[in-house]
Structure 1
Amino acid sequence: MTSLIPPRIAALKTVMNKARVDAYIIPTADPHQSEYVPEYWAGRYWISGFHGSAGTVVVTADHAGLWTDSRYFLQAELELKGSGVTLHKLLAQAQAEYMDWICSQLKSGQTVGCDFWCFSLAQIRAFDKKLTEKGLHLKDCGDLMQDIWEDRPALSPEPIYEHAVKYAGKSRELKLKSLREQLKLQKADYILLSALDEIAYLLNLRGKDVHCNPVFTSYLLVTMDHCDLFIPPDKLPEALEKKLAEDGVHVKNYFTIKSVVQAIKPGKKILIDPSTMNAKLAIQFPEGSLLSDVSPVMKMKAIKSKPEIEHIRKVMEKDGAALVKAFIWLENLLKKSKNCSEHEFAMKIMEFRSQQPLYVGESFDAIVGYQANGAIIHYKPDAKKSATIKAKGILLVDSGGQYQDGTTDITRTIALSAPAPEVKNNIPQCSWDISPWQMPFFRKGLKVSNLTSWRVNIYGICP
């Protein structure tokens, strides 16, 4: 894989030169600011070879760098080796430290480019302010990888399906009614939703466009008496599309959203969440029309109904049963002096989960890390290079399941033999270090990691 990266970066630099940009930013993002992106928008992985779920690549005429946080340092060092991409270690998660680097490297008058479709309005506002202060220019140059990414995956053709109201807790009609009440309170004529989880929740629909995430690529434009769902063509079964129409939800082509937004008349007020709405769409609205606030749908999601709470309890019970069966299987295997790979055990966990009622799939790729691999955060065992689990040492298992009635994410650390003295000492020290800081409130900007690591640093557990 690493041998493919240098030619790709060279091709991108050629395109950058034609577009007259001196630095190009490639995020881990799609037009919906999803944490996990469809393969079509996995440009950061394609240009760097880094598999981690968080990180940003910046390319200039003489440098290509990946900025990621401490969860991925070990993984990035391994995957970037020989690629020509330099690892830049973020001091804190979700901080745009690469902008400081760009400002230190470029000269006044030079231009920084990015694709406004894949950055939120809040991000672009912050970038523009910072770059302007340094005498630099920000340019929406679109997706510069479009013409050089020859084998780029297509958008998912997987159909959208209905999520039963008995599991959703409320009908889409009731949810839309609640949303419109919020529009009325905020004196908004429209709300444009772009976060995929919010749209799936609001309409009681699910999809398979993102690996391990039951969402579908879409936008939703809602007024007091109208609701338009923008999705790629041929994604809805005819019967479901008819049912949505009966509920007041009308289907439009995903690729027409920009022109629809541009057609909104001046004087209308549009509510958006600047942290999830991409800048490309946000700047299409008439001047002075935007109302920026946290999405009311996010707040609606946070308040679980009684049926949802009951389903969560049942899901945890059956998911726990599946994990117990998997651990018993492993224990019995090791007692017979047999071994299995990390990947094999991850597949076995999936097998036991799939035997549970209402199973849909995994909520993320299982993290099964034996011994040293347990220190690699978000480690994904590979079928070809997976470590062998033996009847000694420590095994970390972090996995979860998607069910029609709920989602799980469970982490367990298993001692496969009598733990070494240092392990017995380190685990409680880390627990004591973290537990007192779970509940207090802190002032904005305080680095809680500095407080939570003092004990382990004293004991020499962490470097």
Structure 2
Amino acid sequence: MSMNTVPERLAALRAAMAANGVAVYLIPVGDPHASEYLPCHYTSLTWFSGFHGENSNFVVTRTESALWADGRYFVQAEKEIAGTEIKLQRMGEPGVPTVEEYCANALNEGEALGLCGLTASTALVNDLKKALEKKGASIKTLNLEDELWTEGRPALPDTPAWILPKEYAGFSPAEKLDQLRSKLKELGCTAQFVGKLDNLAWLLNLRAMDIECTPYAMAYCYVTPSRAVLFINTARVTPEAKAELEANGITLAEYDDVLKFLAAETEPQTVLAECSTVNYAVYQVLEQNPALTVKDGIDPLLMMKGVKNETELAHTKQAHIRDAVAMVRFQIELESRLAAGETLTELTVDEILHKYRSADDKFLVESFGTIAAYGGNAAMMHYHATPEDHAVLEKKGFLLVDSGATYMDGTTDITRTYPLGPLTEDEKRFYTWTLQSHIDLAKAVWLDYCECKMIDTIAREPLWRHLINYRCGTGHSVSFVGNVHEGPHSLRGTNSVLMRPGMVVTDEPGVYETDLVGIRIENELVCVHKADNQYGTFLGFEPLMFVPIATSPILPGVLDKDEIAWLNDYHRQVFAKLAPHLNDEERSWLAEKCAAIGC
């Protein structure tokens, strides 16, 4: 059977479902490690449905199929599934069923839902079980993705694995393992199964290039009081890394042997395994082993790496200065080439940025695919220009550029919205309101009992006043030499984590008017201690990123005195920090961009 189109692939999937006795099949966006960005080998949801977004699920029944996408992807999803039978389920919108409700409705008593235990998180399976129990339906683990997607499927990644030196990381793997073991003791556990790649990378200072733009290795780690076993394709571990891991008390085992190893474990342990990040196949084996008591709980590594240590912070500040210099050089080149009448596209933006960033001797990789979006394209929050589909830049309107890089000493994420020529009144208004939101969060001060979701509202309030909102968080945590999105904290309406000094977070409010305009202004901030007094402990933010913010689109009379003072002070810092790294011509350009504005 030909399997070149989505309808053909769905027909083949339904035939395999029937042969395996499952009435419904669920494909999550996922790999065995609950990764946000996936190795190409695990992009099954895209292969079967045509949709390229994150944080989604695809369900196929005997007669219909449905795709769940969040607000960032509504526009993109509609385009990508157009012309197929697939129905878009807009997550979080009124009247839209959850994946669990939909699956339960689609199943009759005694029927089974199929899914791959390696790519489904235990938390997802537990939620499905609850919903299906009421219907008398069950879950069957099988891997129809592997069975059907054989032709042209990318291999499992196996890039060389290496160790980030302690001079950058601040602590050795042995020291971090000691920190983890004492945390586990506090939690009443003796062992932990680490499934999430960013947590594992931080714990062992392990890096590779298995995922596009994300310097991690596909691996698991099992930690007990006396052992730490790293499950990885051992052939790809450099001899230096192997020696260093062993010197730090870490044993190597083969990646594919993890289930066999856990099933054969005889040493009694109380094992912490976080349901949201440990896959169902692993969790089942842990639960079925009589020597092990499994305990679900938040992975303590999340908070341990979420609060950056002093060494990480010192290095990341240096990385951000060098990244800012690259951003300045990019903007100078962009402006001069446009002024010279060259034809530039959204793709040119990525080329110029890469040229300046990759010239840095500590550069590893872009931290995500550059989003260069001109005009109405910027209304799609995660728009990506392609050689087949991209816009030519014109001398009017806005160009939104969201980009970043990972260096040996830090990871960056920055967005600027550049005016390329005359702007409409609406464009100026939306830009000014977005900047107001950005500044209000950047200069916020709060008592340390405030949860992230409370701080999130500070950024939204200037837009809410005009009855506008953005369908995403205001900010996310950024790893140290790692993935561009991490936990445990994020500035969004659902996050109840308390911000703590040393946490890094982005400040990126925006206005997205479908097909018209998209505006976002983003810096990375670090949470700092402000003061202790009779009222408690006050916290605030300091910027990590120092790049000029366009002032020409600002509507007079909208920003208040404090907001103008913040912006002028920010630009003074930008000039002071970057000028020493620039030549005379670049410095005079920067002085102009950083000129103070009045009210």
Query: Residue 174 of structure 1 corresponds to which residue in structure 2?
Result: 175
Query: What does the per-residue CA deviation read over 1:394-430, in whole Å, with 9 as the maximum and x for residues that have no partner?
Result: 1010011010100001011111113211112223345
Query: Residue 345 of structure 1 corresponds to which residue in structure 2?
Result: 349
**Contact 2:220 2:231 (8 Å CA) reproduced:** yes
CA distance in 2, matches of 1:271, 1:337: 60
**Contact 1:194 1:276 (8 Å CA) reproduced:** yes
Question: How many Å apart are 1:250 and its aligned residue?
Answer: 1.1
C-alpha spacing 1:448/1:329, structure 2 compared with 1 (3 Å): closer
* Coordinate RMSD, CA, aligned: 2.8
Gaps of 5+ in 1: none
**Contact 1:433 1:456 (8 Å CA) reproduced:** no
Question: How many Å apart are 1:30 and its aligned residue?
Answer: 0.7
Residue 221 of structure 1 aligns to a residue whose secondary structure is strand
Question: How many Å apart are 1:267 and its aligned residue?
Answer: 4.4
Query: Residue 87 of structure 2 corresponds to which residue in structure 1?
Result: 86
1:365 aligns with 2:369: yes
Q: Following superposition of structure 1 onto structure 2, how do residues 267-346 of structure 1 map, counting pairs within 5 Å?
A: 267-285=268-286, 286=289, 289-346=293-350
Query: Residue 143 of structure 1 corresponds to which residue in structure 2?
Result: 143
**Contact 2:53 2:73 (8 Å CA) reproduced:** yes
Of 333-342 and 428-437, more deviation after overlay is shown by 428-437
Query: Residue 241 of structure 1 corresponds to which residue in structure 2?
Result: 242
C-alpha spacing 1:243/1:322, structure 2 compared with 1 (3 Å): same
Question: How many Å apart are 1:203 and its aligned residue?
Answer: 1.0
CA distance in 2, matches of 1:447, 1:330: 35
Query: What does the per-residue CA deviation read over 1:273-329, in whole Å, with 9 as the maximum and x for residues that have no partner?
Result: 222111211121236701222112112102222111111111111111111111111
Question: How many Å apart are 1:153 and its aligned residue?
Answer: 1.3
C-alpha spacing 1:156/1:169, structure 2 compared with 1 (3 Å): same
Amino acid at match of 1:265: T
Amino acid at match of 1:10: A
Q: Following superposition of structure 1 onto structure 2, how do residues 38-437 of structure 1 map, counting pairs within 5 Å?
A: 38-91=39-92, 97-140=98-141, 142-150=142-150, 151-265=152-266, 267-285=268-286, 286=289, 289-430=293-434
**Contact 1:3 1:83 (8 Å CA) reproduced:** no
Question: How many Å apart are 1:432 and its aligned residue?
Answer: 5.5
Residue 338 of structure 1 aligns to a residue whose secondary structure is coil
C-alpha spacing 1:442/1:197, structure 2 compared with 1 (3 Å): closer
Query: What does the per-residue CA deviation read over 1:56-84, in whole Å, with 9 as the maximum and x for residues that have no partner?
Result: 11111111221101111111122212243
Question: How many Å apart are 1:461 and its aligned residue?
Answer: 8.6
C-alpha spacing 1:92/1:28, structure 2 compared with 1 (3 Å): farther
**Contact 1:22 1:60 (8 Å CA) reproduced:** yes
CA distance in 1, matches of 2:349, 2:512: 29
Residue 311 of structure 1 aligns to a residue whose secondary structure is helix
Question: How many Å apart are 1:202 and its aligned residue?
Answer: 1.0
Query: What does the per-residue CA deviation read over 1:167-205, in whole Å, with 9 as the maximum and x for residues that have no partner?
Result: 111111211111122233334332111111111111111
Gaps of 5+ in 2: 470-510, 515-599
CA distance in 1, matches of 2:367, 2:149: 29
Overall identity of the aligned pairs, in %: 30
CA distance in 2, matches of 1:61, 1:388: 44
Of 391-400 and 291-300, more deviation after overlay is shown by 291-300
**Contact 2:192 2:273 (8 Å CA) reproduced:** yes
Residue 59 of structure 2 aligns to a residue whose secondary structure is strand
CA distance in 1, matches of 2:243, 2:382: 42
Residue 269 of structure 2 aligns to a residue whose secondary structure is coil
**Contact 2:379 2:513 (8 Å CA) reproduced:** no
Query: Residue 16 of structure 2 corresponds to which residue in structure 1?
Result: 15
Question: How many Å apart are 1:455 and its aligned residue?
Answer: 3.7
Residue 236 of structure 2 aligns to a residue whose secondary structure is coil
Residue 368 of structure 2 aligns to a residue whose secondary structure is strand
Number of residue pairs matched by the alignment: 459
CA distance in 1, matches of 2:191, 2:451: 35
